[in-house]
């Protein structure tokens, strides 16, 4: 064996003869095994095409590869029969003085060897650059070409300084931008209008007490048309308010007390049309900034997860009981097997209060979780849950039942309860424990998948079973970074562009008026026929998974469906917009109240106003009594123009200017209704 | 390591007798009383001076009668802050030894006093005491209290709200600075607990079994506590003892295990805040390599280049070293109590890992 190996090396040395000390003198290689040694004076590659550990590199070894056809290519330094070394590799295209990252890896090959898969284009020059950061020993690599099969995700490097945990539209064009925070700067890569690339822009904000060290969220807190940012750190939370003219950030709101922040969310907790800022507290009851509607807040602690020593990690706001208001689920985690680790589900009572109903829902488990991914995985019209398992079975956790030592898939029974259907679902055999779990339809087949970290998308097979698909990206913010309708993933300095597969899609962009500007908390329903489902649903949310903020735009994949029957937006205000036959493979912008069905189409018990148009008085028609409650009237651009007391189910409107308005009324139980009307 | 304790006891006894027999206030009918004032129904008091722990100028931290200074073999790193620790117990009350690796069973009314301060604070190279943290044992358990010192260093005021204070100082000719974290009560409890019960961390026989240079001479701390009437006289002669991790005459692994015990075990032990992760860093448990994370894969993947918690012979690809060498809030360890890197401890871990016998398989 040893003799054979020597011979092999000798013959390889002949094949690989020639300088390999820098990019310019890199020898050309073809598929096969090649010997690598680091020469003194060689040039170390500096551009890292993956999230490399920091550390200085001294020497490099360079190779050039020009494929004679389009291929999918594998390069590994783990080659049977040869000694293994702790290698590190970057693959570039471009020219020696202007590289473009193609791939990179440290240890994926096992035993500290490197392994990369990437797609190549005929005639293009690729550079393989190894460095000796961990070992200067000789090694070999094996280059193999396979039939071209497009990668699911294509890696691209980005250049942006700061903590890159957020994808959100920051300049009001509904295209997803990449947000970084560095000191007192927000550094943006704003997506170009054609979806092709980004334009950098940087803004300073006034000094804030907190940075996004534990989580970040985006939403239009001050309702001025530009998204604001919420930073959660171990010392507190800060809201960074964007100016109304897209010129940066003008104001900062700091929490008045220490918060050990975990997941944070923008959400309109009291449904007054203004987003509040909720922060999970690791070691105390949860807190929130209640928006005063005037760029200020009242700080609250209590009522939304009150366990004394916390345990709150992954908050996510969804409507689990389909009653039209937003509920709160908290994935919890805590050592010592105490109640701080029991997950909570806070049902919105519709009157500004919440009740923890986890026990009756079947979710009050002591399950060590940092996040839960909510989605209607079986497209039956209610939200199911995948609750991620963060931990192993050590110490006291060993005493837990087996069902709590793994990921959990819980089917919504439609009656406020959930059934554990993990067994046989694929989540029982996917044992990698993770912190971040999010629900998206990555392949636009009409069934929501779960991205689980560990480079794994659990693909929804459409029958409540899931299969792991390993991708090159790890957990990170998610959005459509090239406006092609397929959701992309960002990891620090790299974006991973999802390759379109021919499936159709639609994305819904919301402009709230009486509701919060982003439509956070809205339920979106999509109706279609012919794909095995009748309806898909999404709840618009700011802040899912754990650390990251993903797009506020709502994506639906519709498989091979070439037409959508209709899209229904159920806004937090109660307004319902219905869009018949929206165009597919494009974005649909819906302004609240602009697609409301006529009163004849509403059922008799619903809320309606008449006459419409109205001149003097607007009358309310409903089975509910609205006497001696407040009504708010908004202009179509979201400005509150009139507050009035409802007298005899009527409101005077003679002083309003002509135009379209939205009226919002709260009944005596606290439930809110709204409708659009025209002032004639 | 088992350290002898009984010989020191005998030695100390003789010294104690010699000193006490020629004390100036050793009058037959005069019994000295501790000035310390602890009324368990009204603590925590608004001011640190209310307790009367110290005599003379308070900032000199000169302990009053029956306020006994103590030290630990190795201590928690808190951004290079220096610490002076004291213990006080009501007359006639004493702590009970239960095991080398267990917190002494303290009597109701006992107070642990821990002062956090820096020397050579810029710009005038002065000493600045930042806070004095107390744990007071009431009948139904331990409570926390924290006293934040004023700029004049004349008084410290009760607060459990937490905060930050900027500090710059020189240490060994190097200027250092930190945004020092004063913990809120919720952070105190995060480390100082077993499940839902508040507990001290340091005063275990394994950490106390060392000599201390008292005002009247050097003595073993456990011996002195017994003499002071602060500890039952059932302490075994041999105690499995942690080392001073900075003592380079001690074996490397003993120093590492001692450092990890006091810096990490309060979260990574059964019943502690983070017992759902595989590490077990208590000194009594780290004789088992897997408990140290040696060749154990992490549950939370920070980077695919970090395959094991401790990757033998490869410190830079070890999760433990990576987490100790970062200030990133979601990655650093310990997660509380530190905002700067403890470079000397990182060097200790590097030396330990890189000298291991063979790489992980």
Nearest CA in chain A to B300: A434
Q: Does A84 touch chain B (CB under 8 A)?
A: no
CA angle A564, A569, A574 (to 5 degrees): 155
Contact flag A213-B329 (C-beta cutoff 8 Å): yes
Q: Which chain A positions have a beta carbon within 8 Å of B336's beta carbon? A: 234
- In 10 A of CB A305, how many CB atoms? 24
Work out how many CB contacts closer than 8 A connect A with B. 115
Whether pLDDT at B63 is above 50: yes
Contact flag A107-B304 (C-beta cutoff 8 Å): yes
| Nearest to A127, CA basis, from A181, A91, A178 | A91
Q: What is the pLDDT of residue A64?
A: 96
Whether pLDDT at A76 is above 90: yes
- What share of chain A has pLDDT > 90, as a percent? 76
Contact flag B276-A368 (C-beta cutoff 8 Å): yes
Q: What is the pLDDT of residue A31?
A: 97
Q: Which chain B positions have a beta carbon within 8 Å of A113's beta carbon? A: none
For domain A23-149, the question of CATH label 3.90.1150.10 is answered with: no
Q: What is the pLDDT of residues A166-208, one digit of tens each?
A: 999 999 999 999 999 999 999 999 999 988 899 999 999 999 9
Structure tokens at B303: 């980077």
Q: Which chain A positions have a beta carbon within 8 Å of B361's beta carbon? A: none
Q: What is the mean pLDDT of chain B?
A: 93
Kindly tell me the sign of the dihedral angle through the C-alpha atoms of A431, A436, A442, A448.
Answer: positive
Query: In Å, how far is A544's CA from the nearest CA of chain B?
Result: 17
pLDDT top residue among A678 and B354: B354
Q: What is the pLDDT of residues A571-630, one digit of tens each?
A: 999 999 999 999 999 999 999 999 987 544 444 445 778 888 888 888 887 766 666 677
CATH architecture of A154-498: 7 Propeller (2.130)
Long-range residue pairs from A649-652, CB within 8 A, at least 24 positions apart, any chain: A649/A619, A649/A620, A649/A621, A649/A622, A649/A625, A650/A617, A650/A618, A650/A619, A650/A620, A651/A617, A651/A618, A651/A620, A652/A616, A652/A617, A652/A618
From the candidate CATH numbers 1.10.3470, 2.60.40, 1.25.40, 3.20.20, the one assigned to the domain spanning A504-591: 2.60.40
Q: What is the pLDDT of residue B272?
A: 94
Q: Which helix (H) or strand (E) holds A313?
A: strand A312-318
Q: What is the pLDDT of residue B18?
A: 43
Q: What is the pLDDT of residues A434-480, one digit of tens each?
A: 899 999 999 999 999 999 988 899 999 999 999 999 998 999 999 99
CATH architecture of A607-679: Sandwich (2.60)
Query: In Å, how far is B94's CA from the nearest CA of chain A?
Result: 29
Q: What is the pLDDT of residue B3?
A: 63
Nearest CA in chain A to B268: A335
| Nearest to A106, CA basis, from B316, B202, B157, B342 | B316
Q: Stretch B238-261: mean pLDDT, rounded?
A: 98
**Separation in Å, CA B9 to CA A53, A631, B204, B223, B342:** 52, 82, 18, 5, 36
Q: Stretch B299-323: mean pLDDT, rounded?
A: 95
Whether pLDDT at A2 is above 80: no
Interface list for A 641-660 with B (CB within 8 A) = none
Of B161, B307, B336, the CB nearest to A257: B161
Whether pLDDT at A114 is above 70: yes
- What share of chain A has pLDDT > 70, as a percent? 94
Contact flag A368-B280 (C-beta cutoff 8 Å): no
Pairing of strands A672-679, A659-666: antiparallel
- The neighbouring-strand residues paired with A373 are A386
Structure tokens at A138: 């000789």
Pairing of strands A587-591, A504-511: parallel
Q: Which chain A positions have a beta carbon within 8 Å of B317's beta carbon? A: 53, 86, 107, 112, 134
Interface list for B 282-341 with A (CB within 8 A) = 299-301, 303-307, 314, 316-317, 322, 328-330, 335-336
Reported pTM: 0.88
Whether pLDDT at A556 is above 60: yes
- In 10 A of CB B41, how many CB atoms? 5
Structural domain boundaries of chain A?
23-149, 154-498, 504-591, 607-679
Which ipTM value was assigned to this complex?
Answer: 0.90
Q: Distance between CA atoms of B254 and A213, rounded to whole angstroms?
A: 34
Q: What is the pLDDT of residues A250-297, one digit of tens each?
A: 999 999 999 999 999 999 999 999 999 999 999 999 999 999 999 999
Q: Does B280 touch chain A (CB under 8 A)?
A: yes
Q: What is the pLDDT of residues B337-348, one digit of tens each?
A: 999 999 999 999
Alpha carbon A31 to chain centroid, angstroms: 39
Decide: A276 and A291 in contact? Cβ < 8 Å. Answer: yes
Q: Which chain B positions have a beta carbon within 8 Å of A106's beta carbon? A: 304-305
Q: Distance between CA atoms of A412 and A320, rounded to whole angstroms?
A: 8
| Lowest-pLDDT choice from A44-53, A497-506, A647-656, B277-286 | A647-656
Q: What is the pLDDT of residue A4?
A: 41
Q: What is the pLDDT of residue A395?
A: 65
**Coil, strand, or helix at residue A241?**
strand
Contact flag B300-A106 (C-beta cutoff 8 Å): no
Q: What is the pLDDT of residues B214-229, one digit of tens each?
A: 999 999 999 999 999 9
Decide: B204 and B101 in contact? Cβ < 8 Å. Answer: yes
Q: Please count the helices (runs of H) and the strands (runs of E) in chain A.
A: 2, 50
Q: What is the pLDDT of residues B316-356, one digit of tens each?
A: 999 999 999 999 999 999 999 999 999 999 999 999 999 99
Query: In Å, how far is A366's CA from the nearest CA of chain B?
Result: 12
| Residue listed under structure tokens 């079994």 | B209
Of B162, B276, B329, the CB nearest to A391: B276
Task: Give the CA radius of gyration of chain B.
Answer: 21
Q: Stretch A39-57: mean pLDDT, rounded?
A: 91
Q: What is the pLDDT of residues A122-156, one digit of tens each?
A: 999 999 999 999 999 999 999 999 999 888 999 88
Structural domain boundaries of chain B?
38-237, 242-360
CA angle B48, B49, B51 (to 5 degrees): 80
Q: What is the pLDDT of residues B3-54, one digit of tens each?
A: 665 545 444 444 444 444 444 444 456 788 999 999 999 999 999 999 999 9
């Amino acid at each position: 064996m040893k003799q054979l190996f020597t011979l092999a090396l000798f013959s390889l040395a002949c094949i690989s003869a020639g300088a390999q000390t820098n990019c310019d003198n890199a020898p050309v290689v073809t598929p096969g095994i090649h010997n690598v040694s680091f020469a003194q004076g060689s040039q170390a590659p500096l551009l890292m095409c993956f999230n490399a550990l920091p550390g200085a590199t001294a020497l490099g070894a360079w190779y050039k590869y020009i494929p004679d056809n389009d291929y999918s290519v594998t390069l590994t330094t783990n080659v049977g029969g040869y000694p293994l070394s702790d290698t590190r590799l970057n693959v570039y295209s471009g020219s020696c003085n202007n590289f473009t990252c193609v791939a990179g890896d440290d240890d994926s090959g096992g035993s500290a060897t490197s392994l990369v898969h990437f797609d190549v284009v005929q005639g293009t020059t690729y550079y393989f650059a190894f460095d000796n950061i961990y070992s200067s020993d000789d090694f070999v690599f094996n280059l193999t070409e396979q039939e071209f099969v497009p990668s699911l995700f294509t890696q691209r490097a980005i250049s942006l300084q700061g903590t890159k945990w957020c994808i959100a539209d920051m300049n009001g064009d509904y295209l997803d931008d990449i947000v970084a925070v560095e000191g007192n700067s927000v550094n943006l890569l704003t997506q170009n209008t054609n979806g092709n690339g980004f334009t950098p822009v940087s803004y300073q904000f006034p000094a804030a007490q907190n940075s996004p060290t534990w989580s970040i969220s985006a939403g239009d807190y001050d309702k001025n048309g530009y998204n604001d940012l919420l930073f959660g750190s171990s010392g507190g939370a800060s809201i960074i308010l964007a100016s109304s003219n897209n010129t940066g950030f003008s104001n900062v709101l700091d929490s008045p007390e220490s918060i050990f922040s975990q997941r944070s969310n923008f959400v309109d907790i009291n449904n007054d049309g203004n987003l509040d800022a909720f922060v999970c507290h690791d070691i105390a009851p949860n807190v929130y900034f209640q928006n005063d509607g005037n760029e200020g807040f009242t700080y609250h602690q209590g009522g939304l997860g009150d366990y004394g020593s916390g345990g709150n990690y992954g908050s996510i706001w969804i409507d689990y009981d389909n009653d039209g208001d937003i509920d709160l689920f908290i994935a919890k985690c805590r050592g010592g097997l105490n109640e701080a680790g029991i997950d909570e589900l806070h049902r919105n009572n519709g009157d500004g209060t919440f009740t923890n109903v986890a026990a009756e829902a079947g979710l009050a488990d002591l399950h060590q979780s940092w996040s839960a991914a909510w989605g209607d995985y079986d497209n039956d019209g209610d939200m199911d849950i995948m609750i991620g398992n963060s931990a192993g079975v050590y110490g006291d956790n060993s005493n837990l039942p087996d069902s709590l030592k793994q990921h959990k898939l819980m089917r919504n029974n439609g009656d406020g309860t959930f059934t554990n259907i993990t067994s046989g679902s694929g989540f029982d055999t996917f044992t990698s424990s993770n912190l971040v779990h999010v629900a998206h339809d990555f392949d636009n087949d009409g069934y929501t998948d779960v991205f689980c970290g560990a480079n794994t998308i659990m693909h929804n097979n459409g029958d409540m079973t899931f299969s792991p698909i390993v991708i090159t990206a790890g957990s990170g913010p998610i959005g459509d970074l090239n406006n092609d309708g397929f959701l992309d993933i960002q990891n620090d300095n790299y974006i991973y562009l999802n390759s379109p597969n021919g499936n159709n899609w639609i994305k819904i962009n919301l402009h709230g008026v009486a509701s919060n500007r982003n439509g956070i908390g809205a339920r979106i329903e999509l109706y279609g026929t012919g794909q095995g489902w009748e309806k898909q649903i999404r709840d618009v949310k700011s802040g899912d998974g754990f650390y990251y903020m993903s797009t506020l735009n709502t994506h639906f994949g519709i498989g091979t469906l070439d037409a959508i029957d209709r899209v229904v937006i159920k806004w937090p205000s109660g307004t319902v917009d219905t869009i018949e036959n929206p165009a597919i493979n494009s974005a649909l912008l819906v302004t609240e109240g602009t697609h409301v069905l006529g009163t004849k189409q509403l059922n008799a018990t619903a809320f309606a106003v008449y006459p419409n148009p109205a001149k003097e008085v607007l009358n309310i028609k409903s089975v509910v009594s609205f006497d001696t409650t407040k009504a708010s009237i908004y202009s179509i651009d979201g400005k509150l123009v009139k507050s009035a007391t409802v007298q005899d189910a009527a409101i005077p409107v003679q002083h309003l200017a002509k135009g379209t308005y939205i009226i919002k009324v709260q009944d005596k139980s606290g439930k809110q209704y709204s409708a659009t009307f025209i002032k004639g | 390591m088992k350290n002898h304790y009984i010989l020191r006891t005998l030695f100390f006894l003789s010294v104690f007798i010699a000193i006490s027999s020629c004390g100036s206030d050793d009058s037959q009918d005069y019994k000295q009383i501790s000035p310390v004032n602890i009324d368990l129904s009204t603590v925590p008091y608004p001011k640190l001076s209310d307790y009367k722990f110290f005599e003379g100028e308070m900032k000199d931290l000169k302990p009053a009668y029956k306020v006994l200074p103590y030290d630990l073999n190795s201590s928690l790193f808190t951004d290079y802050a220096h610490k002076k620790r004291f213990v006080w117990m009501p007359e006639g009350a004493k702590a009970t030894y239960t095991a080398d690796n267990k917190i002494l069973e303290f009597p109701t009314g006992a107070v642990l006093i821990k002062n956090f301060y820096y020397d050579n604070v810029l710009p005038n190279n002065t000493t600045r005491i930042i806070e004095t943290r107390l744990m007071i044992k009431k009948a139904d358990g331990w409570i926390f209290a924290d006293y934040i010192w004023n700029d004049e260093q004349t008084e410290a005021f009760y607060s459990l709200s937490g905060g930050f204070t900027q500090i710059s100082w020189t240490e060994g000719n190097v200027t250092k600075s930190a945004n020092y974290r004063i913990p809120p009560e919720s952070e105190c409890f995060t480390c100082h607990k077993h499940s839902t019960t508040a507990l001290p961390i340091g005063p275990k026989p394994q950490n106390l079994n060392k000599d201390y240079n008292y005002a009247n001479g050097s003595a073993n701390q456990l011996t002195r506590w017994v003499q002071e009437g602060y500890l039952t006289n059932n302490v075994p002669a041999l105690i499995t003892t942690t080392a001073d991790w900075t003592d380079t005459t001690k074996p490397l692994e003993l120093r590492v295990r001692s450092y990890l015990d006091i810096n990490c075990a309060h979260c990574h032990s059964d019943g502690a805040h983070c017992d759902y992760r595989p590490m077990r860093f208590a000194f009594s448990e780290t004789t088992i390599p897997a408990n140290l994370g040696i060749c154990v894969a992490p549950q939370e993947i920070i980077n695919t280049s970090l395959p094991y918690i401790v990757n033998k012979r490869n410190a830079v690809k070890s999760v433990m070293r990576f987490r100790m060498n970062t200030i990133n809030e979601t990655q650093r360890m310990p997660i509380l109590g530190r905002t700067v890197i403890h470079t000397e401890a990182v060097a200790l871990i590097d030396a330990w890992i890189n000298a291991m016998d063979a790489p992980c398989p």
